[in-house]
Structure 1
């Protein structure tokens, strides 16, 4: 993962992360609304069902329950729903992030419409990337991480540039070339922040487990899922904006002209 100076410019990790969080903060209702509807609520419903029907009912001590038709069926249904809602969320929040960084004001309905219009290609991109990275992970993990970095901006490339699915993978490879080490560090910082946040949430969940309040347990889990989703997508889109500016000289304000 050799690093490139991009002709004297430098991929600034702090600036990328700062832009991602500033975007969320400036559009907090939009981001929280989309993340809660498309990530938080599905996770809340599954967690509420799981805690009520397994963790509390069986005290979590019967591993055979995980192989029961009801658990497998619910898990499968949740997985299918999460694929669809996750695809919409990624496209919607990517669009919202790029719009904000371009100086535009993203609107809930406008961004959601973009996400819904891209359901099928976004699902295809997610499956292709997941399969590719998963297979690469079998080879001592490192190749999987490298491929994950190569395709780090495939979603914003597809959403913003209106290219084909396979072309989006090629665009991501071209844009991330020479910057993958710093992209890795950027994502590592964000993942560590989310991990640190999950620690007190884990203790809180265990404390609530003792009270047997399935609603609160599911609520906390769903909220954490929504928060993680919007931070990761905003960071990914911010990386894309940074790379377009450094490698191609496209200022954030010019990205909207390209989308239009």
Structure 2
């Protein structure tokens, strides 16, 4: 993952992260609304089901539920729904981030429409990337990490540039070339930040479990997962914007003209 020449320009990790969080802060209700509805709802349903059947009634006897058909049926259904809603969320938040950085005002309805229109391609991209990275992880982890970095901006490339699925993977490889170490550090910093923020939430979750309130327990877990997804999508889109500017000289304000 050696760094290549970026034409004298430098990929700024701090700028990428601050840009992503500034975008979220400026559109907080919009981003949280999309994340909670699309990513949080499936997690809430599964979490509530788990809470009323297992978490709040802990004991050795209850462990049998994890071997039951009902558990795996619910988990499988939730997983399928989350694939669809997650695809919509990724496309919608990617557009929202690029629009904001371009000086436009993202709107809930328009973003949702974009996400829905891209469901099947986004699912395909997720499956291809997931299988590729998964196989790479089995090969002593490093190949999987490299593929993950090579394809770090495949979603923004597809959503913003209206290219084909395979071309989006090629675009991501071209854009990330020469900057993958810095992309790795960017994602590492964000993951650590999310982990640190999750520490107090874990205490809150434990407190909710102690109260015996299944709905609150499930909601806390779903909200944390949804907000984590929101941050990661915004960071990926911010990385994409940074790479387009560094490698192709396209300012954020020009990206919407290209999309149109």
> 1:61 deviation in Å?
5.5
1:40-90 CA distance string (max 9 Å, x none): 122111101111012224536643321210000000001000000000000
Q: Partners of 1:60 and 1:185 in 2: how far apart? A: 42
Q: Partners of 1:212 and 1:135 in 2: how far apart? A: 41
Contact 2:209 2:217 in 1 (8 A): yes
Determine the structure 2 residue equivalent to 1:219.
219
For 2:205, what is the secondary structure of its paired residue? helix
Q: Partners of 2:220 and 2:248 in 1: how far apart? A: 42
Determine the structure 1 residue equivalent to 2:199.
199
Q: Partners of 1:113 and 1:180 in 2: how far apart? A: 32
1:141-190 CA distance string (max 9 Å, x none): 11100000000000000000000000000000000000000000000000
Determine the structure 2 residue equivalent to 1:106.
106
- In terms of mean alpha carbon deviation, does 161-170 or 215-224 score higher? 215-224
Q: Partners of 1:5 and 1:101 in 2: how far apart? A: 25
Q: Partners of 2:120 and 2:225 in 1: how far apart? A: 23
Contact 2:54 2:63 in 1 (8 A): no
Does 1:124 pair with 2:112?
no
Contact 2:91 2:115 in 1 (8 A): yes
1:101-144 CA distance string (max 9 Å, x none): 01111111111100000000000000000000000100111110
Q: Partners of 1:16 and 1:259 in 2: how far apart? A: 21
Q: Partners of 2:121 and 2:60 in 1: how far apart? A: 38
Determine the structure 2 residue equivalent to 1:47.
47
Count of residues paired in the alignment? 260
Relative to the length of structure 2, the TM-score reads 0.97
Mind listing any 5+ residue stretches in structure 1 that lack a counterpart? none
Q: Partners of 1:132 and 1:104 in 2: how far apart? A: 35
Q: Partners of 2:82 and 2:60 in 1: how far apart? A: 24
Q: Partners of 1:207 and 1:4 in 2: how far apart? A: 49
Determine the structure 2 residue equivalent to 1:143.
143
Mind listing any 5+ residue stretches in structure 2 that lack a counterpart? none
> 1:207 deviation in Å?
2.1
Moved over 4 A (4+): none
For 2:54, what is the secondary structure of its paired residue? helix
Q: Partners of 2:5 and 2:31 in 1: how far apart? A: 33
> 1:5 deviation in Å?
4.1
Q: Partners of 1:14 and 1:104 in 2: how far apart? A: 23
Determine the structure 2 residue equivalent to 1:236.
236
Determine the structure 1 residue equivalent to 2:154.
154
Relative to the length of structure 1, the TM-score reads 0.97
RMSD over aligned Cα, in angstroms?
A: 1.1
| Closer, same or farther: CA 50–104 of 1 in aligned 2, 3 Å | same
> 1:196 deviation in Å?
0.7
Determine the structure 1 residue equivalent to 2:254.
254
Determine the structure 1 residue equivalent to 2:134.
134
- In terms of mean alpha carbon deviation, does 140-149 or 55-64 score higher? 55-64
